[in-house]
Structure 1
């Protein structure tokens, strides 16, 4: 009983030397470098992960006296994770040094599954392994770009990938939203190609875990987000470059499957017929009469760069001065104005009253003209 209490006290104090020793013993990370074959490395790594998960689980299920000191013990877990990361790196180095492309491909697929993430389409492979390595290498980790070939990083690939991504997105929006004005097409395309969207996909596919980047990037969220977006664009370029025959079709099919869920909620942006403005004008417009469509409040910014506009229609004439007839909202000023006209037409008592005044005026004008012609 006394020995058990002594053991718990030792853990709760979070003594660095003791905790580090316990982590090393339970995970056996210090022996990772001694494994020579690729399959043995990977088996050892799986064991490391299992043991590390057990260690964390035991700590989380410990009595309060232990759980209160998890922050101290976390330092040792981070050390263990760093050793695990080195084991992964050694596995990759061993695979590359063997000069066997098939083994390198097998290793990549085992550690980074391309069979499809839940909710996402299957990730197309990059057939050229040198391009694949460049995709996940930041220019900042290969030295001076002026002295070292940029083919070692994603520097050039990202530029080409950016163009492909924008082209494929434009074609998708063009096909899905026929007759949509160019301004609205640009807004929807931005929703698909903006950096936040691409970085989100990169994270979902585990690109961030495969990337070699300067350490300071990880502590700068905006910069890291931009880097993940660049890696995603480079990946698209590498798919196409590594398969000159079918690469573009593969990339287009994959990106379209990725983007369709984002577009499915935008079917309402298809342009209306814009007939309500014409119907309202035909019913109440006349000489000296003015219909004004005015912004009633500032537009609201939506995700993806789109906006919601708020427009009201007002009448001056037939005895009314700046009379409000109706209000509407839409993803463009044109659609918001048309909705305002639609609401005005639904306000039948007022519109019928205005129309009656117009008819009386037109009848009077017609009679005066007939009398003038007779004389």
Structure 2
């Protein structure tokens, strides 16, 4: 694993062949062969494992976790900035926080079966460390850090496009940006009438369809939105309607 220098000599802890074989399986499952295997091993090495193998010169994943957290936040920020051009800074921050948080990272890690590859000390293993949320979230971030060092930001983005971003696209975090509920509350405050949503267009092949929705208030169109699903299109329409209503209210003042 990580090389440490002592005088003019270099020493490194070498994982057992059986453990290395397990990581080969992980690389195959992810379809991401690492150039520097030590980075991959380190990403899954918990401090409890290092403490039980002090003479092997292993290195835990805490520094990679630090780096991965920053890389993940940058990558998700850029994705959201480009994907949702009409969102305010506050809305983008709120949505990013719901993606780059422990519960979400645990979901990503579990879907990739990261837990079974973590190198743990015996005590941590016996107390259920392999399923501990904080440990799994840290491992996911450490993996992102290792992947960034090994293959660069473009590969990280490709990985996130496969693992993280599709969940945003299908509305897994829509509770954070529920513009339909916000619009409903805004209309109710003014007692302006009833809202109605309708799909007015569908474009593209079945596997890559774009929906167009509009929201009406008492048969008057308030906003139009587009999305990869009907739900996303309706949310976009509601958001655009809120922008229009707020602008009209501002002009009246």
| 2:193 aligned with 1:326 | yes
How big is the alpha-carbon RMSD for the aligned residues of Structure 1 and Structure 2? 3.7
- Counterpart of 1:93? 16
| CA offset digits 1:237-270 (Å, max 9, x no partner) | 1112124xxx221111111222232122349xxx
Structure of higher CA gyration radius: 1
- Counterpart of 1:275? none
**Contact map agreement 1:126 1:238 (CA 8 A) in 2:** no
**Contact map agreement 1:314 1:326 (CA 8 A) in 2:** no
Aligned length: 182
SS at match of 2:16: helix
- Counterpart of 1:156? 63
**Contact map agreement 2:45 2:118 (CA 8 A) in 1:** yes
Q: 1:185 aligns with which of 92, 99, 103?
A: 92
- TM-score of the pair, normalised by structure 2: 0.58
Unaligned runs of 5+ in 2: 1-14, 197-214, 221-253
**Contact map agreement 1:150 1:156 (CA 8 A) in 2:** no
| 2:221 aligned with 1:343 | no
| CA offset digits 1:269-319 (Å, max 9, x no partner) | xxxxxxxxxxxxxxxxxxxxxxxxxxxxxxxxx76644543234566xxxx
Q: Where does 1:1-375 land on structure 2 (aligned, <5 Å)?
A: 93-94=16-17, 104=20, 107-108=21-22, 112-116=25-29, 122-143=30-51, 152-214=59-121, 215-216=123-124, 219=127, 224-243=132-151, 247-266=152-171, 305-306=176-177, 308-309=181-182, 310-312=185-187, 324-326=191-193, 343=217
Separation in 1 of the partners of 2:161 and 2:57?
29
Separation in 1 of the partners of 2:146 and 2:36?
8
Unaligned runs of 5+ in 1: 1-91, 97-103, 117-121, 268-301, 316-323, 330-338, 347-375
**Contact map agreement 1:123 1:254 (CA 8 A) in 2:** no
| CA offset digits 1:136-179 (Å, max 9, x no partner) | 111133239xx999970001110100000011011111111113
Separation in 1 of the partners of 2:56 and 2:153?
25
Measured after TM superposition, the shift of residue 195 of structure 1 is 1.7
SS at match of 2:193: strand
Structure number having the greater helix percentage: 1
